[in-house]
Amino acid sequence: MVSVVEGPQTRPLQLGSLTVDIPVVLAPMAGITNAAFRQLCREQGAGLYVCEMITSRGIVERDAKTLGMLQFDPGESTRSVQLYGTDPYYMAEAAKILCGEYGVGHVDMNFGCPVPKVTRKGGGAALPWKRDLLEAILRSVVKAAEPYGVPVTCKTRKGIDDDHLTYLDAGRIAEQAGIAAIALHGRTAQQSYSGQADWESIATLKNHVTIPVLGNGDIWEAADALAMIDKTGADGVVIGRGCLGRPWLFRDLADAFAGRPGQRLPSSGEVAIMVRRHAELLAGLMGEQRGLTDLRKHMAWYFKGFPVGGDIRHDLGTVSSFAELDDHLARLDPALPYPAEVLGRPRGRQGSPRGKVSLPEGWLADSCGLDLELSGAEIGVSGG
């Protein structure tokens, strides 16, 4: 078992044969964690950085768009991919392709997506309710990755809703199946991204299993990560929305876990330099026009809280070339201090809790799912 808290410092995270020096994982986020953003976060101090969620059938069927997501920068010492699917055979075959053909050194599995188009087909956060199917998937992927020496982990939520919790059974099944670690987002599918994450559930899971447990949910600052570790005993943390427009959060986390004094937050000029670096990485990945277009969605996050005029915000949100980007960034006052009012506050999507989680008809009647046809759960899935 991994022990994390040791005075102000922490020990590395051990995932099978894989050692993660800084127990901080960049969560896969659809449309966000491409190779460019992963490199940006790695440069700041992320310990493990996971590719966007990819469907198993897309890999096995050699779908060009799916395989096109499997891009890695040369500095990624461990290629990490999150795999999504509902069929043990396809999940195993996809894992073999990832490990054998793409040099992937860590496979994660998604059982936490709360998106209705996924759960209504029995995928994502709905699937752990079917304990036998969950076990079959976990065992098949572990067996497929074993010859390559690749550790397999999984991520889940507390459950479907407060009346249908699955995380303790999922943890037990994962441990018995040979999973190297389990990450828990302390919300139910019904909560989606609303409300407050339940860190107590992470502590409960930690006391329930002997494999490493990673905590996820409401880590907005480095101090939040230390508080989660202290409160739950988790072996590491998973960072999702907290790093949107703030890749330097991983620098702060690396300092915090090493017991080093924190560095000052960036000024508007230093944020602009980070934006330019992000643009360069995106352009290198997909070309200038596509890369700068992809950067647009990050602008509001980067400059959240800064007193930047609406005209500049609009122009930054419509860039399509380096010339435009440099022109708009030059209009910023580079000396603006980082806005304290946004610290410790949620970033990215939040929304409201759902009245009812969309599920296949009769889904909650029993916990058996091996005989179900769930291939539709992978259609049109891009992440979650």
* Pairing assessment for the beta strands 24-26 and 236-239 based on DSSP bridges: parallel
Rg of the chain in Å (alpha carbons): 20
CA pair distance 249, 374, nearest whole angstrom:
38
Q: Which amino acid is at 96?
A: K
CA pair distance 65, 210, nearest whole angstrom:
38
Q: Which of 167, 217, 161 is nearest to 191 (CA)?
A: 161
CA pair distance 110, 129, nearest whole angstrom:
14
Where are the alpha helices (H) located in the chain, listed in sequence order? Answer: 35-44, 56-60, 64-68, 88-101, 116-119, 131-145, 167-177, 199-208, 222-232, 249-258, 268-286, 288-302, 310-316, 322-330
Phi, psi of 381 (to 5 degrees): -90, 125
CA pair distance 296, 320, nearest whole angstrom:
8
- 99 as an active site residue: the answer is no
Catalytic residue among 99, 113, 154, 243: 113
The CB-side HSE value for 136 (13 A sphere, CA atoms) comes to 16
Q: Is 238 exposed, middle or buried (0-12, 13-18, 19+ CB in 10 A)?
A: buried
Q: How many helices (H) and strands (E) would you count in the chain?
A: 14, 14
Asked if 299 and 276 touch (Cβ cutoff 8 Å), the reply is: no
CA pair distance 158, 187, nearest whole angstrom:
6
CB count within 10 Å of CB 360 equals 17
Mind telling me the catalytic residues? Answer: 113
